Amino acid sequence: MSLKMKKAMTLCIAGILMISFVFAGCSKKKTEDTNAVETAAPADTGSEEADVTDAPDSTDESDYSNRSAEDLSLKDIYADRFMIGVAANSWQLQDKETMAAITKDFSSFTCENEMKPDYLLDYDATIAAEDGMPQIKVDTLNRIMTMAEDAGLKMRGHTLVWHSQTPKWLFCKDYDEDKGYVNKKTMLKRMESYIEKVITYCQENHPGVIYAWDVVNEAFSDDEEGGYRLDSPWYEIIGEEYVEKAFEFARKYADEDVKLFLNDYNATIPAKRDSIYAAAATLAEKGLLDGVGMQSHHDMKYISIGDIKGALFKYAQIPGIEIQLTELDLHNPDDSEGGLATQAEIYGDLFKMLVDMKDEGNANITSVTFWGLSDATTWLTANKNETSYPLLFDENMKAKPCYFAICDAATKE
Ligand code: XIL
């Protein structure tokens, strides 16, 4: 064999070896991939070949994908600590399936809108009233309260005195928006009359259903200096005394065991928190107030559980005070698996903190209400100008990861 031929043969053998090496590598890779697919099968298949390091951990607390909410009930899980509530509208209560979903998980109900002055005040009847006092639409009240009562739900009354969702005419001379505001004396008479009518009607017709009233809603400012919200007709006409007066009237007409709340949002911002605290402490000392309502509209991006805990500690300094989270939701524009998992973690941490605060006797939290049932109906989508997924159930009423995280928080060490 010539040297040339020997060289050619060596090259040829080397080439064959290289080609077979590449093929072998490919088929090895393929085998690994196949294994990966196999090991990704649910760990409970009992396959002995499964690579345990790659297999998803069935005990992984944050994997809620295989769990069913069917046999779970939030209100039962939290019964020893606090009531679990939900806000909804009468059209939701009318729907049998929705009502069943509500009573499965919730023991407390808040009207998302229908108990607000905008819905209850009757303009025509008010104009016609001989005593010149505001009149209410008792049918609206009766309809929604009957549905809640028949379903065995207790209610938070929301809300009596608020700058928003209250018709401007209530504050004006002759109930005419063109005539300007009435004086303080007249406004106080109107306030008392309205509070008396609403509370009395509820108590006489549905005794024991309403366990708490948001007597005054959003009275405080978000400004750095805190203090009262100034852009409220109540404040403009009566001055800061309107808050105490509202509580005085509510106390006068409410049954003894009905709890009276001062309710507000951003109740964790230091200056606002301190303003709420100061007013609530004074009212409580006078025997006019029973609790502070922290609305708790949070955003996943900014929520601080430490700040919430700090506010709970602060309010809890008021002797005998109850604290309720009255409008909880967690704005979340991301419904990807990751987004929902992060949301679940935050909700879980929040409830774990609430449980600890309650169990350790640091804050007398008596109810926690979610502001809406499912992501399909949340007010936040309109409010934030982007689709929000803030609640426990998705658009199809399927329990989201956060639902299970909240269930688990009740028993977490
Ligand atoms: C919201 C309702 O969810 C909406 O449907 C309505 O259009 C506006 O009011 N603070 C409160 C609640 O006290 O009454 C508000 O509810 C949300 C903010």
How remote is the CA of residue 130 from the centroid of ligand 1, in Å? 33
Beta bridge partners of 297: 329
268 neighbors 307 (Cβ within 8 angstroms): yes
Residue 345 lies in a domain: yes
113 lines ligand 1 (CB under 6 A): yes
For the chain, the maximum distance between any two Cα atoms, rounded to a whole number of angstroms, is 127
Establish whether the linkage from the previous residue to 159 is cis, with ω within 30° of 0.
yes
Stretches where the chain sits below pLDDT 70 are 1-61
Residue 368 lies in a domain: yes
Residue 135 lies in a domain: yes
- Angstrom distance (rounded) from CA 293 to CA 280: 10
248 lines ligand 1 (CB under 6 A): no
Residue 363 lies in a domain: yes
Residue 12 lies in a domain: no
At 87 the three-state DSSP class reads strand
Active-site residue identified among 114, 149, 218, 248: 218
How remote is the CA of residue 165 from the centroid of ligand 1, in Å? 9
35 neighbors 55 (Cβ within 8 angstroms): no
Question: Looking at residue 400, what DSSP letter applies?
Answer: P
Angle between helices 401-409 and 337-359 (to 10 degrees): 20
- Angstrom distance (rounded) from CA 325 to CA 346: 16
Which protein residue's CA is at the shortest distance from atom 12 of ligand 1?
A: 112
How remote is the CA of residue 297 from the centroid of ligand 1, in Å? 10
For residue 158, the ligand 1 atom closest to its alpha carbon is 14
Which protein residue's CA is at the shortest distance from atom 3 of ligand 1?
A: 379
Ligand 1 pocket check: which of 379, 380, 384 to mutate, most ligand atoms within 8 Å of Cβ?
379
7 burial via Cβ count (<10 Å: 0-12, 13-18, 19+): exposed
The DSSP result for 107-134, as a single string, is SEEEESSTTSHHHHB-HHHHHH-TT---
| pLDDT per position as a tens digit, 195-242 | 999 999 999 999 999 999 999 999 999 999 999 999 999 999 999 999
Residue 357 lies in a domain: yes
Full domain range(s) for residue 403: 74-409
Tokens of 332: 């979340």
How remote is the CA of residue 390 from the centroid of ligand 1, in Å? 14
Ligand 1 pocket check: which of 215, 229, 327, 374 to mutate, most ligand atoms within 8 Å of Cβ?
327
Closest to 251 measured CA to CA, from 217, 288, 277, 214: 288
How remote is the CA of residue 382 from the centroid of ligand 1, in Å? 11
98 neighbors 373 (Cβ within 8 angstroms): yes
379 lines ligand 1 (CB under 6 A): yes
Tell the residue number behind the tokens 């909240």, with chain if given.
406
Closest to 324 measured CA to CA, from 352, 292, 363, 286: 292
Q: Which phi and psi (to 5°) does residue 18 adopt? A: -60, -45
The pLDDT score that the predictor gives to residue 123 is 98
The DSSP result for 221-266, as a single string, is --STT--B-SS-HHHHHH-THHHHHHHHHHHHHS-TT-EEEEEESS
Closest to 105 measured CA to CA, from 411, 413, 400, 343: 400
Which protein residue's CA is at the shortest distance from atom 7 of ligand 1?
A: 379
67-to-63, 106, 195 alpha-carbon distances in Å: 8, 20, 46
- Angstrom distance (rounded) from CA 172 to CA 115: 21
- Angstrom distance (rounded) from CA 316 to CA 277: 9
The tally of domains found in the chain comes to 1
What count of residues does the chain have? 413
Which protein residue's CA is at the shortest distance from atom 13 of ligand 1?
A: 217
Residue 11 lies in a domain: no
- Angstrom distance (rounded) from CA 89 to CA 295: 18
How remote is the CA of residue 113 from the centroid of ligand 1, in Å? 7
Known active-site residue 327: yes
Task: Look at the alpha carbons of 307, 219, 164, 98 in this order and tell me if their dihedral is positive or negative.
Answer: positive
The pLDDT score that the predictor gives to residue 59 is 52
Ligand 1 pocket check: which of 116, 371, 374, 385 to mutate, most ligand atoms within 8 Å of Cβ?
371
Closest to 186 measured CA to CA, from 122, 128, 245, 238: 238
Residue 24 lies in a domain: no
377 lines ligand 1 (CB under 6 A): no
Which residues have CB under 8 Å from 396's CB, separation 6+? 376
For residue 116, the ligand 1 atom closest to its alpha carbon is 14
Ligand 1 pocket check: which of 120, 164, 375, 377 to mutate, most ligand atoms within 8 Å of Cβ?
164
- Angstrom distance (rounded) from CA 135 to CA 119: 12
Instruction: Return the CATH number at 309.
Output: 3.20.20.80
For residue 372, the ligand 1 atom closest to its alpha carbon is 3
295 lines ligand 1 (CB under 6 A): yes
Active-site residue identified among 114, 149, 248, 327: 327
Known active-site residue 218: yes
Task: Look at the alpha carbons of 118, 120, 124, 128 in this order and tell me if their dihedral is positive or negative.
Answer: negative
Beta bridge partners of 365: 323
146 lines ligand 1 (CB under 6 A): no
